[in-house]
Structure 1
Amino acid sequence: MEVSLPVEQAVGLGLASLRVLGWLLLAPPFSYRGFPGPVKALLALALALVVQPDVTPLVRGGLGAGGLTAGAIMLAALQELLVGVALGWLCYLVFAAVQSAGDLLDVFGGFQLAQGYDPLMQSGSSVLGRIYQLLALALLFATGGHLVVLGGLLRTYEVLPVGTSIDLSVVARVATEGIAGLMLAALQIAGPLIAVLFLTDVGLGLLTRVAPQLNAFALGFPLKILVTLVLVGLGASLLPDVVRSLADQMAETVLGTARASADG
């Protein structure tokens, strides 16, 4: 019995899955180490099956022009992995605004000393930064934002076909704008709460001048912690709208970067 192997389809599926896999390694919410490696690999393969019918003709007409040589396939594989990693990193920059807002609240709220090691991200994370990160992650799934981000990734195969390299200058420009946008978004999320905490410190300072015998600074630590926790609870009610906006922004960033690379 002879079994014929559709080489073009297999190569197209493999190249498409490499872009998704590179994206899954860095893009939230799939980049967290709570997702096992085999699950990410199977998810990349499943998503690649969606675009595989469109990728196979490109492989047959492009890579197959001089034959499916090992060198051409390896070069295309490296390009697809680089595209996925670059797009995933840009998504991470957008989503990191929520954790950055929590980190700012930690600094002004007095929780920065409780900073610990996060085994999921393999980095240090503060208390409120970690809480905001987990809330945003849960809301991203609850609101269906992860589907919006995945939809943006799959649409990149239309504007940036398989076998086309990404323009690193475009990635650098988008990353620069993304870092500036990250700080702006973090300040927009945490700014009102930081202003209230600042006014709390000013009030405690005035109370110390008016009534030094009350020792307001000794009472200020638990009072400031209470104010911080109340403000965080109130601010959490605004996170669903923020997460939906960030999901749309991640999809637009991925698609816009791919389109700019294709046009350049």
Structure 2
Amino acid sequence: MEPVFSQLIPLLSALWWPFCRILAMLSAAPIIGDGMVPVPVRILLSLVLAVVMLPISHQAVAIDPISMQGVAAAVEQAVIGGVLGLAFQFSMSVILMLGFLVSSQMGLSMAVMNDPMNGTSSDVVSSMLSIMCIIVFFSIDGHLVLTGVIGASLKAWPIGGGFGLISLQAIAYNVSWIFAAALLLTVPIAFSSIVVQLGFGFLNRVAPSLNLFSLGFSVITMFGLFMLAQLARFVPDHYIRMTGRVLDMLQQQMQGAAHG
């Protein structure tokens, strides 16, 4: 039994560190990290991927898991995985912010429904756009892209090798383009809503007897739905482009870490 245990402990140690990184990444990644995916499924998927990544991670530095160095290494892997998953969450955050801004302009922000899958409340437009992005995510093999990024990260930032602060800053500074991309997508609907409201303002000056408050809300909502139908056709292309930007950003950081 002793030879078996002597071989089992290094194998478990080689599985544990990739498992910590993969589980943290999948917990922070879009769709897979949402509340609709049960935690046992996420843990099982992380364990399977950790076994698949054994040829890459078996050359890791031998670290005793039951030590302060092991605790620090586990925290390091969780930080790396969380940052990678958060980077992919940027693209989904743009779409969710777009849905919230569009709902505010259309007057549908009051129509908030409880989402039983995620356990949160969201407006109708954000839920519709998020479902669209989930379909696009799996249609472009986003799950395979996540797996490839995990393997590349184990080569760029090996276990026990640390994670540069510059990489964290570069990923954090890219949060600004979330707001820029969401606002650029919202500009057509926001501008159209302002034009319609200005038109109702002039109409109120011409015919003060009309009840434009009740009429204007319905017209703006219908006009906003028409503009949303025109905008929804371009959302998948924007989502693919934003995901490509995230991949380029991660690739630059990994190349810098490999050369460093």
- Scaled by the length of structure 1, the TM-score of the pair is 0.86
| Offset at residue 120 of structure 1 (A) | 4.0
Match of 1:11 in 2: 13
Match of 1:203 in 2: 199
- Separation of aligned partners in 1, 2:150 and 2:230: 33
Residues 114-157 of structure 1, C-alpha deviations (whole Å, 9 max, x = no match): 23444544444222122212221222112323322432232111
Structure 2: which amino acid aligns with 1:93? F
Bigger drift between 113-122 and 33-42 goes to: 113-122
Number of aligned residue pairs: give it: 257
- Separation of aligned partners in 2, 1:231 and 1:17: 45
Match of 1:155 in 2: 152
Q: Secondary structure at the match of 2:32?
A: coil
| Offset at residue 219 of structure 1 (A) | 1.1
1:228 aligns with 2:230: no
- Scaled by the length of structure 2, the TM-score of the pair is 0.87
Match of 1:243 in 2: 239
Contact 1:136 1:243 in 2 (8 A): yes
Match of 1:101 among 76, 98, 101: 98
| Offset at residue 168 of structure 1 (A) | 4.0
Contact 1:160 1:261 in 2 (8 A): yes
- Separation of aligned partners in 2, 1:164 and 1:255: 18
Bigger drift between 41-50 and 102-111 goes to: 41-50
Contact 1:148 1:247 in 2 (8 A): no
Match of 2:138 in 1: 141
Q: Which structure: greater helix fraction? A: 1
Q: Secondary structure at the match of 1:163?
A: coil
Sort the Cα spacing of 1:103 and 1:26 in 2 relative to 1 into closer, same or farther, 3 A: same
**Structure 2: segments with no counterpart, 5+ residues:** none
1:31 aligns with 2:33: yes
Contact 2:91 2:239 in 1 (8 A): no
Contact 1:20 1:47 in 2 (8 A): yes
Contact 1:22 1:81 in 2 (8 A): yes
Contact 1:153 1:251 in 2 (8 A): no
Sort the Cα spacing of 1:154 and 1:198 in 2 relative to 1 into closer, same or farther, 3 A: farther
Match of 1:111 among 87, 108, 112: 108
Contact 1:208 1:214 in 2 (8 A): yes
Match of 1:50 among 48, 52, 66: 52
**Structure 1: segments with no counterpart, 5+ residues:** none
Sort the Cα spacing of 1:170 and 1:233 in 2 relative to 1 into closer, same or farther, 3 A: same
Sort the Cα spacing of 1:28 and 1:198 in 2 relative to 1 into closer, same or farther, 3 A: same
Q: Secondary structure at the match of 1:212?
A: coil
Contact 1:109 1:225 in 2 (8 A): yes
> In percent, how many aligned pairs have the same letter?
25
1:219 aligns with 2:221: no
Q: Secondary structure at the match of 1:86?
A: helix
| Offset at residue 174 of structure 1 (A) | 2.0
Sort the Cα spacing of 1:205 and 1:146 in 2 relative to 1 into closer, same or farther, 3 A: farther
Match of 1:192 in 2: 188
